[in-house]
Copies of this chain bind each other. A is one copy, B any other.
Amino acid sequence: MNDSPDVNTKSALLAAAIQVFADKGFDSATVRDICGRAKANVAAVNYHYGSKDGLYAAVLAEIFPTGEERHAQITPDLSPEERLREFIRGLASDIFERGSDTIAQRWAIFLREMAKPSGNLDYIVQHHVQPRADELRCILSEILGPNAPDTTLAYCSANIWALMLDHLLIQPILDRLTPDRPAADNGLDLFVDHVFRFSLGGLKAMKG
Write the residues of chain A forming the contact surface with B, with a CB cutoff of 8 angstroms: 25, 27-28, 111-112, 114-117, 121-122, 125-126, 129-130, 133, 151-152, 154-156, 158-159, 161-163, 165-167, 169-170, 172-174, 176-178, 181-182, 190-191, 194-195, 197-206
Contacts A112-B116, A115-B115, A201-B204: A194 and B163 contacting too (C-beta < 8 A)? no
Chain B residues, Cβ within 8 Å of A205: 197-198, 200-202, 204
Copies, count: 2
Contacts A27-B27, A194-B152: A172 and B114 contacting too (C-beta < 8 A)? yes
Residue of B nearest to A28 (CB): B27
Q: Decide if A177 touches B125 in the complex (CB within 8 Å).
A: yes
Contacts A177-B133, A206-B194: A166 and B158 contacting too (C-beta < 8 A)? yes
- Partner of A201 from the list B28, B191, B202 (CB cut-off 8 Å) is B202
